[in-house]
Amino acid sequence: MSYNFNENEYNNEGRFNNDDELGRLMNPDKTEETTIMRRSMEISRKQRQIRQKGLLLIRLRGLLRFLITLLILYFTYRLMTAAKWYLPKDTINSYEIKRIQIVGNKITPTYKIVTSISDIELPHKPIYMINTDEFSRKISALDAVKKVYIKRLWAPARIIIYVEEREPVLTIAPSKDVTPIAYFSKDGKLVGRDYLPLPKEYNPILVLSYGNQNDDYTKWSKDKVLSIEKLAKTLEKSSGEKVQYIDMRKPEDIYVKLTSIKIRIGEIDGNTYNRIKDIKSILKKTESFEKKIKYIDLSWDESKYLKLGQDEETNDEQTIQQPVVEEKDGNSTD
């Protein structure tokens, strides 16, 4: 190994400036090792300083995260326990419109809904912790209510009650001139007069019934309600006219009043829809009659009759004043 040195390593007298310089010349390998060790120690020292600074930064960041977490927890607690989360104790009984909102009750009176939940004691809890199951159960117990959904809101704390009501398909009255006393929904539920009159947007079929022993509508099943609805819709589709009412005061002798004429159906059985399928063609033929038609008799399977007489609101056959006109196989004979 060679070692290069410059002239600065000598003094004016041609000697080395110090023993180290002489040592480097005498022992070049050892000198290089010493230099490397010094550099390594310097690098290690700087790495330790960097690690110490990094550790300090990590600790500072951890402390900062801890402080931020404490602040978040504090403000969350203050937010969750704020007064705007709580309903006043008398919210239900006083029925504050800003605190309780009822949506969708077109048939059920608002006071009935409020009354149904008036005995519920509100706990002193934030609105998000109040169990609304009891609200839903009590409101759903009302006859006209089908389903209930309750939404809880805050700032200020309030409740929105969404009501889905039973859709009316039939109304019941003892006479066409009397206000209906009850209605049936699609699911066969009988709803009483407390929920009447119905809003104008509903147009159920009027059914006349006395509700006596022979025709106790309170015992009608869902299937019977749907069969009456089907009969009315079939007649409207076949005739092109609106059903005014269905007279079921004599269940074995049913009459249906269309816009222009009354039809005698008799008892609803398996052949009823076969008997009424030609109603439109029969109505056209009645337009040429000059005499007053009391009703069209479709109660027979093989024959169809036109009863002539005064159009009176009675099913008494003794009121017929004109001869009977019989229509067989679509051909009319006097």
Least confident of 139-148, 155-164, 178-187, 322-331: 322-331
At 104-126, the pLDDT tens digits run 999 999 999 989 998 888 888 88
What is residue 101's three-state secondary structure? Answer: strand
- Residue given tokens 């203050």 in the structure block: 78
Closest alpha carbon to 247 in 203, 291, 205 = 205
Q: Whats the size of the chain, residue-wise?
A: 334
Q: Which CATH architecture has domain 168-333?
A: 3-Layer(aba) Sandwich (3.40)
pLDDT digits (tens, 9 = 90+) for 94-107: 655 578 889 999 99
Residue 76 is predicted with a pLDDT of 80
Tell me the whole-structure pTM to 2 decimals. Answer: 0.68
pLDDT over 60 at 176, yes or no: yes
Q: What is the CATH number of domain 91-165?
A: 3.10.20.310
- Per-residue pLDDT averaged across 233-245, rounded? 94
How would DSSP label each residue in 162-219? EEEEPPEEEEEESSTTS---EEEETT--EE-GGG-SPPTT--PEEEE----STT-GGG
- The predicted pLDDT at position 45 comes to 81
Mean pLDDT of 266-293: 85
Average the pLDDT over 203-225 and give the result. Answer: 90
Sheet strands (E) in the chain: 100-103, 145-153, 158-165, 168-173, 182-185, 190-191, 205-208, 243-247, 254-258, 262-266, 293-297, 304-308, 325-328, 331-333
What is the pLDDT, as a whole number, of residue 28?
58
Tell me the pLDDT tens digit for each residue of 47-70: 888 888 888 888 888 899 999 999
User: Dihedral of the CA atoms 191, 194, 200, 205 (nearest 10)?
Assistant: 30
User: HSE of 253 in the Cβ direction (CA atoms, 13 Å)?
Assistant: 6
pLDDT of residue 167: 94
Residue 29: pLDDT band by 50, 70, 90 thresholds? low
Lowest mean pLDDT among 123-127, 175-179, 315-319: 315-319
Place of tokens 């010349």: 25
- Computed over every residue of the chain, the mean pLDDT equals 81
